[in-house]
Structure 1
Amino acid sequence: MPTDEPPATPDPHKTARTYGPEANRYDRRTTAYQRWRDAVVAKLDVGTGDTVLDVGCGTGLCMSALHDKVGPSGTIVGIDASDEMLGLARERATNNDWHNVRLLSASEPAALQDVRADGALFCAVHDVLQSPAVLTQVLEHLRPGAPVAAAGGKRPPIWAWGLRGWIRSLHSPYIDDFTGFDRPWRLLAAHVPDLNVRELAFGTGYLATGHTPAPTP
């Protein structure tokens, strides 16, 4: 029986072991979800010249759409726990001549130390979204009032119980702990007061958008 208690802070070494073996086939196995990646980037309210934080960037599958939004004068800061995933993201950036992509390892405690971003993307990063400590660390590197967008899978509603086993199996290679899978955005909502959530695909996925608190006048 799932609980509503958040798991402990994700162990980047464990995450690296989870994703490392999947790196070379990750793009192929998740091709069907590219339209959702493009959809969540489209909802992220950043523009030309902005710096955007791509949390759990993986192999860089959101970077093309992000690059279209921020342009060559903007910056994409990708952070991930898997060196194998980061290596493929680096190849993607090099092959596309994206000179404004900066890649960071989540295993480095001070990875985000000098980052100040205008927006943040959380795409298919369930374990990250279930950690209050990691969320706080990431969001404190955003400017006040910065846009945030998140998307991913979720446990289907009770009326679609027949899909639950299939959805869990589909996501199990990429999720360490399914705690909070009913409402993956619930901890993010504590940091993003205007968070708007739209469930997708018969309740098996979601897209959430909002802003960090604006500065006090």
Structure 2
Amino acid sequence: MPTETTDEDPDPEHRAAIERSRRRWEFLSSRWGFVERDTVGVRREAVDLLDLSPGDRVLDLGCGPGVNFEALREAVGPEGLVVGVDLARGMVERARERVETRGWENVEVVQADATRLSYRRPFDGALATTAVSAMPDVRGVVERVHDALVPGARFALYEIRLVPSGPARVLNPLVERFYRAFGNWNTEEDVLTELRRTFDSVEEGRSFALGTNYLVVARTADEGPSGRPHG
């Protein structure tokens, strides 16, 4: 039984954006194999940034077909819990097949809009790999993740962006078209901006591919409310 619940969404514009995103990821759900193979190393780096312990609860946001589950399970051990969330039914079905095939009893997969998901218990860490920048409401997702974490917890991301500096920026129109076509990239909101707005601290890690791929870890305040802005 899922441990999470979904809030009702009264906003028709948000519902329309989510439906467009869902259709895009349904299309990509059967074409994800090469992405899994090519990103094993960097995704494991992102998991390491969480500094998880045995018995921890961890959220895998935009989990896709479950490509991060194995590394997350290794980090939290058999007493821990991994909860994967994805919008697309095709991705969720493939993730659940992976869980069933491997007999992972401490992995749950939920199909939901990440901006409308309520978590009944807080998490000790959260992970997202090339997921947040593809969501139609980056700010809403970042705020939901922040509120779902215990004090002092980490949110680790492997993300994509345009070439940030240097002569290679001339390639950005091509990079943007590729991201929008393949990754459903949200051109209206910036992941790093929303992380810095919401979390107590944000630290960029390794970047590669002309700076278009990068790791970042955000951290909640150690004690009490952070006083993050809303609206």
**TM-score (normalised: structure 1):** 0.85
Task: Report if the CA contact (8 A) 2:146-2:199 is conserved.
Answer: no
Q: Does 1:179 align with 2:174?
A: no
Higher relative contact order (CA 8 A, sep 6+): 1
Task: Report if the CA contact (8 A) 2:18-2:136 is conserved.
Answer: no
Q: Does 1:75 align with 2:81?
A: yes
SS at match of 1:203: coil
Structure 1 unaligned segments of length 5 or more: list them: 1-7
Select the residue among 189, 193, 204 that pairs with 2:212: 204
Q: Which amino acid aligns with 1:89?
A: A
The Cα of 1:24 is off from its aligned counterpart by: 0.9
Q: Does 1:137 align with 2:119?
A: no
Q: Which amino acid aligns with 2:73?
A: H
SS at match of 1:185: helix
Select the residue among 110, 115, 130 that pairs with 1:104: 110
| Distance of aligned partners of 1:26 and 1:106 in 2 relative to their CA distance in 1, 3 Å threshold | same
Match of 1:43 in 2: 49
Task: Report if the CA contact (8 A) 2:85-2:114 is conserved.
Answer: no
Structure 2 unaligned segments of length 5 or more: list them: 1-12, 226-231
| Distance of aligned partners of 1:209 and 1:70 in 2 relative to their CA distance in 1, 3 Å threshold | same
Distance, in Å, in 2 between the alignment partners of 1:94 and 1:111 is 24
RMSD: 2.4
Select the residue among 145, 148, 154 that pairs with 1:147: 154
Runs of 4+ in 1 over 3 A off after TM superposition: 8-11, 107-111, 127-130
SS at match of 1:47: coil
Task: Report if the CA contact (8 A) 1:12-1:106 is conserved.
Answer: no
**TM-score (normalised: structure 2):** 0.80
Distance, in Å, in 2 between the alignment partners of 1:210 and 1:133 is 16
Distance, in Å, in 1 between the alignment partners of 2:119 and 2:145 is 10
Match of 1:5 in 2: none
Moved more, 199-208 or 111-120: 111-120
